[in-house]
Chains A and B, each alone.
Chain A
Amino acid sequence: MIDVEPLIVSELDALLPLPDGGRADWQDVVRRAGLDRRHGRWPLSPRRSLALILLAVAAIVFLVAPALGIAPPVLDFFSSKHAPKRVVHQFDALNVGAPRGMSPRVIAGQTRLVTTYHGHNGTAFPLWVAPTRKGGFCFMVGYGGGCAGPRMPTRSEPGDRNGGAIGLGRYGSTVLAGYVRDKQIANLEVRFKHAPTVTVPLLWVSPPIDAGFFFYDITPAQQRQGGPVAVVALDEQGKELARVAWIFRPKPAWFDPRKVADLSKKHVILRSGQASIAIAPSRTGGNCHWLQERYAPIATGCAPPRYQTVPMASGLNHGTDFTVFSAQVKPTVDRVELRFQDGTQIVLRPVEEFVLYTLPKNHWPRGHRLTAAVAYSANGKQLAKQTFDPKQVATYPCTKPVPIGAGQSACP
């Protein structure tokens, strides 16, 4: 078998090397479009004139614009460097394996290196950004990142102010990074418990990204002085437009079983297959729980009494050779009915407000999988229903994983 790809590349390169861009003439394009009067930016000019114009523009941008409230300079996304295949692959992987309708639909081939930030000790944090087919974008900065929809969310956590306007992520223990979309936001500040406030620059990127990115690496000294307490977005006049603080608030002590569980009273309440649920009273009230499969912990947490606001919070957890259904229910739930594709049903009775069921092998293949969990009261009233997509990949064990795209394999 001949590998023709290297031959094609070398022959095509020899036939037609990448031309220089000397012929490029946007003004000619505008003329041909018949839009020169409306669209023309500047007439064709000698290099010196162009340099003077650029100098004048730069002076306006950096000296006058902020005072006049003119929009900040914007980095042209399409002029940014294409990402190498390794990074494209990582972005592509965001599209695969997501629950139906949850894929970001990122256009991985358009991933570009927007800038490279540097941490307080000189570590490089490249910022990779790619648009999505939904009109948003995905980004990666160092080892963190995320995806944004076409609009910023409007919800705000308690204690925040218009918090949805700041797409803030905390990566590792020191890196704060994210984006804003509101062009009224001129400055971003990181405020500390005791250290001085730091102003973080925004890097605005052109459509289709259309967002301003930021990055800040908290120094050890700032950490020692209590760390950050808020990220605040300000307009040109210094008026506060948004504030995010929840991300810096320590988790309440009652959340952590290691701190509050009375382990001397820990006991198993449910077993199904190799899975089990154990509980122990919390010293702050309520219970802590541990869900595990053999010796592998799957989930743990503590909750005060009456913490659960919905009748049933359920989920499927899976490993290489098991799939486990578990749910925490309100005391009003008398039973939980599991419904499968093949018409079979199983009824589970809650124990200490938990239910647990390890799905047997006959429910692993398509056509036999779990489709819904329904919670009923003692008098037969339906209190809650949660559906499950039987076509969701990587939920049930299999003998032969199949490619699901982006070089990844999973059980179908």
Chain B
Amino acid sequence: MAQGQPTADVIESLYRARYRQFLRVATAIVGDEAAGHDAVQDGFALALKECRSFRGDGSLEGWVWRVVFNAALGARRARMARREVADSVEELASRNGHVDEVGVRAWVAALPERQRLAVYLRYYADLDYRAIAAALDVEVGTVSATLSAAHQALRHSLEEVER
């Protein structure tokens, strides 16, 4: 079967093989495992329903990642509207009492959205740059630059703490 015509079976195979990674990234985005699970389920349901719209000019897995992201980002926006999500370093720091205890986690949370998603995909889903590029629908070079910028921002934050 050509890549351009994914069947439900292929998407089901992806779900069974990679559910834990999808859940981990969705949970990181949404901020809660139950909500993350819902986002994964909704994302895959949409992918299953809309699989005919997959253009076939990239990886199927990347396309499904995009669908699940959008579900997770939607869930996150809904939770933010209900004030269920800590969205800033200050807020996370205040919950934990001291910025040193929050450390890298808070700075990751404070990264711009694309950088944050790239970090999640790199370290939570263990995707390589090509797969991340497919998932974010950007060029590989953009992934490299995005992760580099994220590292730079984190390095800068750490150096400030060390001073």
8 Å CB contact of A4 from B15, B18, B28, B158:
B158
Complex contact A18–B24 (CB within 8 A): yes
Chain B contact residues, majority secondary structure:
helix
Q: Which residue of A lies closest to B14 (CB)?
A: A78
Complex contact A150–B123 (CB within 8 A): no
Q: Which of B42, B126, B151, B158 has the most CB of A within 10 A?
A: B151
Q: How far is the CB of A239 from chain B (nearest CB, A)?
A: 25
Complex contact B27–A16 (CB within 8 A): yes
Beyond A8-B119, A29-B45, A109-B128, whether A15 also contacts B105 by CB under 8 A is: yes
Interface residues of B in 1-59 (CB under 8 A from A): 1-4, 6-10, 12-21, 23-24, 27-28, 33, 37, 41-42, 44-46, 48-49, 56-59
Q: Which residue of B lies closest to A24 (CB)?
A: B19
Residue A321 CB within 8 A of the other chain: no
Q: How far is the CB of B123 from chain A (nearest CB, A)?
A: 5
Complex contact A109–B131 (CB within 8 A): yes
Beyond A32-B45, A107-B59, A208-B60, whether A79 also contacts B17 by CB under 8 A is: yes
CA A5 to CA B123, docked complex, whole Å: 9
Inter-chain contacts of A210 with B (CB < 8 A)? 1
Inter-chain contacts of B7 with A (CB < 8 A)? 207
Interface residues of A in 69-109 (CB under 8 A from B): 76-79, 82, 88, 107-109
Inter-chain contacts of B154 with A (CB < 8 A)? 4, 7-8
Residue B130 CB within 8 A of the other chain: yes
Beyond A24-B16, A78-B17, A79-B13, whether A12 also contacts B124 by CB under 8 A is: yes
Complex contact A19–B24 (CB within 8 A): yes
Residue B80 CB within 8 A of the other chain: no
Q: Which residue of B lies closest to A95 (CB)?
A: B130
Q: Which residue of B lies closest to A15 (CB)?
A: B105
CA A61 to CA B103, docked complex, whole Å: 54
CA A31 to CA B44, docked complex, whole Å: 11
Q: How far is the CB of B163 from chain A (nearest CB, A)?
A: 12
Beyond A33-B45, A109-B130, whether A133 also contacts B20 by CB under 8 A is: no
How many B residues, CB 8 Å from partner? Answer: 58
Complex contact B48–A19 (CB within 8 A): no
CA A8 to CA B123, docked complex, whole Å: 8
Q: Which residue of A lies closest to B23 (CB)?
A: A19
Residue A110 CB within 8 A of the other chain: yes
Residue A148 CB within 8 A of the other chain: no
Beyond A5-B151, A32-B42, whether A19 also contacts B27 by CB under 8 A is: yes
Residue B61 CB within 8 A of the other chain: yes
Contact with A along B128-146 (1 / 0, CB 8 A): 1111001000000000000
Residue A267 CB within 8 A of the other chain: no
Interface residues of A in 5-41 (CB under 8 A from B): 5, 7-9, 11-12, 15-16, 18-21, 23-26, 28-35, 39
Complex contact A21–B3 (CB within 8 A): no
Complex contact A35–B24 (CB within 8 A): no
Residue B155 CB within 8 A of the other chain: yes
CA A210 to CA B46, docked complex, whole Å: 24
Residue B73 CB within 8 A of the other chain: no
8 Å CB contact of B41 from A18, A28, A35, A39:
A28
Inter-chain contacts of B131 with A (CB < 8 A)? 107, 109-110
Residue A135 CB within 8 A of the other chain: yes
Inter-chain contacts of B21 with A (CB < 8 A)? 18
Q: Which of B14, B23, B46, B159 has the most CB of A within 10 A?
A: B23
Complex contact B3–A109 (CB within 8 A): no
Q: How far is the CB of A150 from chain B (nearest CB, A)?
A: 6
Inter-chain contacts of B33 with A (CB < 8 A)? 19
Q: How far is the CB of A92 from chain B (nearest CB, A)?
A: 8
What are 11 A-B interface contacts by the 8 Å CB criterion? Answer: A2-B159, A4-B104, A8-B151, A8-B154, A16-B27, A29-B15, A35-B8, A35-B48, A79-B17, A206-B9, A210-B1
A33-B46, A35-B49 are known; give 18 further A-B pairs, CB within 8 A.
Answer: A2-B162, A11-B104, A12-B124, A16-B28, A18-B21, A19-B33, A24-B15, A24-B20, A26-B16, A29-B41, A30-B45, A33-B48, A33-B49, A78-B14, A109-B130, A150-B2, A206-B13, A210-B1
